[in-house]
């Protein structure tokens, strides 16, 4: 038997918070699930823990920070949600007490049911730092004397890691897998907002050659680039028993350090996903 508060909580609109390291991480790794949640009327908030100051080879850091905040707001408007970029410097992030407290206050302020973030194992030190800081915050968020000033959540949120392909020291475990193909258009519209990254920085840092200057050609280039970079997800995490391989797959690993995922909450937090839990 469930108490009334639990039933009421399940009847409310789901609240989803993404804590990514950089502007564009949320949509690149979890855009499909975010669009699926929007379809179900969820309340969504996206956060870039860093200011994005280092992601360019030509622009000054100050100009880039301002530009990336504009790009993030435009991307958030595609989902109809807020997209904040914090002030921690891109490329220099550590899982410090200041970062942990900022995350605790964000969770308490937004009161999410589901938090999506990076794993503490990743190629990028900023990703690792965010994942570690979220893990460290997951218990402390319920402790009123830590980072006081905001009420503790009514219930401890579930934390899930966004997909990665790394295997050391611990391979990603796909607890939930989503065929995100139907949301590809929405994801690309969000990524198109981050022109500083996908038209300028990434082609340069990855030695791909200049991206097309014509907007239509660049849109085609971006779609091909994104699908190429995400193709390994399908190979790794899609079970052929589920049917033909889809065009785009996302996967999520539930953190054991945060709120527990009950059977009744699975469909609400991971709509349209295949479950291995």
Q: What is the pLDDT of residues 218-246, one digit of tens each?
A: 999 999 999 999 999 999 999 999 999 99
Looking at every residue in the chain, the average pLDDT score rounds to: 95
Alpha-helical regions (H) of 115-242: 125-140, 184-193, 195, 202-205, 215-237
Whether 84 has a pLDDT exceeding 70, the answer reads yes
Query: How sure is the predictor about 116, in pLDDT bands with cuts at 50, 70 and 90?
Result: very high
Number of folded domains that form the chain: 1
CATH classification at residue 126: 3.40.50.10320
Q: What is the pLDDT of residues 12-51, one digit of tens each?
A: 899 999 999 999 999 999 999 999 999 999 999 999 999 9
DSSP secondary structure, 73-114, as one string = HHHHHHHTSEEEEEEEPTT-----HHHHHHHHHHHHHH--SE
Range of the domain at 72: 4-275
Q: What is the pLDDT of residues 192-221, one digit of tens each?
A: 999 999 999 999 999 999 999 999 999 999
- Residue 172 to residue 162: CA distance in whole angstroms: 9
Average pLDDT of span 175-199: 98
Average pLDDT of span 71-95: 98
């Amino acid at each position: 038997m469930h108490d009334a508060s639990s039933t009421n909580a399940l009847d409310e609109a789901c609240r989803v918070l993404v804590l990514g390291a950089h502007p564009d991480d949320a949509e690149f790794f979890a855009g499909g699930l975010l669009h699926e949640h929007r379809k179900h009327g969820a309340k969504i908030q996206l956060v870039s823990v860093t200011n994005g100051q280092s992601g360019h080879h030509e622009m000054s850091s100050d100009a880039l920070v301002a530009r990336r905040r504009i790009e993030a707001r435009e991307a958030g408007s595609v989902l109809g949600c807020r997209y904040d970029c914090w002030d921690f410097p891109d490329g220099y992030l550590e899982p410090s007490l200041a970062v942990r407290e900022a995350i605790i206050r964000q969770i308490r302020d937004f009161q999410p049911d589901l938090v999506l973030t990076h794993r503490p194992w990743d190629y990028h030190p900023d990703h690792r730092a965010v994942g570690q800081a979220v893990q460290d915050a997951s218990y402390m968020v319920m402790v009123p004397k830590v980072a006081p000033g905001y009420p503790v959540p009514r219930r401890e949120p579930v934390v899930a890691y966004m997909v990665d392909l790394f295997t050391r020291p611990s391979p990603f475990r796909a607890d939930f897998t989503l065929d995100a193909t139907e949301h590809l258009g929405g994801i690309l519209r969000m990524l198109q907002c981050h022109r500083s990254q996908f038209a300028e920085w990434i082609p340069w840092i990855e030695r791909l050659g200049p991206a097309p200057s014509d907007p239509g050609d660049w849109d085609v280039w971006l779609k091909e680039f994104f699908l190429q970079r995400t193709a390994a997800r399908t190979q790794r995490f899609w079970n052929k028993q589920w049917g033909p391989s889809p065009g785009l797959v996302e996967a999520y690993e539930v953190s054991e350090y945060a709120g527990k995922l009950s059977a009744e909450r699975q469909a609400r937090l991971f709509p349209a996903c295949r479950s291995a839990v």
